[in-house]
């Protein structure tokens, strides 16, 4: 990613270029990303292609002012961090179904990031593409509880050198530690955007972190939470109201409302 796009990306998330690619800068960048770039699966239900290349992912987030699901937003964030001088690896993970350790999802079910700042701290687990996860990075080498504003995180040794990631005692995903390339996630991305078994094909979501919680639009249901508790829930009356919420709360300008479609059909 060139310097022009790096500058534009930083503007997109309301950040200045950090003087040093250290742990403090990583935490600030992750928080800003979570508050400005939504976790969303709208492309699946708008019939848009999802291209797993650095150029396409950064263009979607920065130029088109969109978000995406894990492959997209973590893939784009990895490009930004690398351009700023952080050491970055793409890591594959299998998401536990309903928090059940005995039921990990498919290989390459999730993309997360291994990040090493230049200050010698870390490596850190950074993840801006898992919905309600940590607000800041999590130390990968620690096996102690790590407190974050979003909850308590714990990493535990899993089978075959993997790491099991817990939030508030609930298993989240099983993380590989070997580095991967974006192309390795093509199969997992295809499954999650086309399979009837994928929760991404069965519903709409657009969500981002706020100063004290989250705001989420699921179909026509707008929810706001604070301190982990639901504060309001509103059913929007129609397409105009939905498009207005996408624009005002998520910065996403659409010419039509996304609707859930059967996998393999056009939106």
Closest CA to 73 of 90, 87, 94, 86: 90
The C-alpha angle with vertex 16 and arms to 15 and 20, in degrees rounded to 5, equals: 115
Rounded Cα distance between 62 and 204, Å, is 22
In degrees rounded to 5, what are phi and psi of residue 194?
-130, -25
CA distances 141 to 26, 43, 61, 115, 146, Å, are: 17, 35, 30, 12, 11
Catalytic residues: 70, 110, 127
DSSP letter (8 states) at residue 113: E
Buried b (16+ CB within 10 A) or exposed e, 49-73: ebebebebbbebbbeeebbbbbbbb
């Amino acid at each position: 990613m060139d310097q022009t796009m790096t500058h534009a990306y930083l503007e997109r998330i309301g950040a200045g270029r950090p003087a040093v690619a250290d742990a403090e800068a990583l935490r600030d960048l992750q928080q800003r990303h979570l508050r400005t770039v939504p976790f969303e699966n709208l492309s699946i239900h708008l019939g848009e292609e999802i291209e797993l290349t650095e150029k396409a992912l950064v263009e979607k987030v920065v130029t088109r002012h969109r978000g995406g699901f894990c492959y997209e937003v973590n893939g784009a964030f990895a490009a930004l961090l690398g351009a700023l001088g952080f050491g970055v690896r793409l890591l594959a993970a299998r998401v536990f179904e309903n928090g059940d350790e005995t039921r990990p999802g498919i290989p390459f079910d999730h993309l997360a990031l291994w990040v090493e700042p230049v200050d010698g701290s870390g490596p850190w687990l950074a993840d801006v593409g898992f919905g309600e996860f940590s607000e800041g990075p999590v130390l990968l080498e620690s096996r102690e509880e790590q407190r974050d504003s979003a909850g308590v995180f714990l990493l535990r040794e899993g089978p075959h050198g993997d790491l099991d990631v817990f939030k508030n005692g609930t298993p989240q995903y099983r993380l590989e530690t070997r580095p991967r390339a974006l192309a390795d996630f093509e199969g997992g991305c295809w499954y999650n955007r086309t399979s009837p078994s994928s929760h991404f094909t069965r519903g709409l979501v657009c969500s981002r972190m706020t100063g004290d919680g989250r705001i989420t639009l699921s179909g026509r249901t707008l929810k706001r939470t604070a301190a982990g508790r639901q504060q309001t829930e509103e059913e929007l009356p129609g397409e105009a109201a939905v498009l207005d919420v996408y624009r005002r709360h998520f910065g996403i300008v659409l010419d039509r409302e996304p609707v859930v479609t059967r996998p393999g059909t056009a939106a």
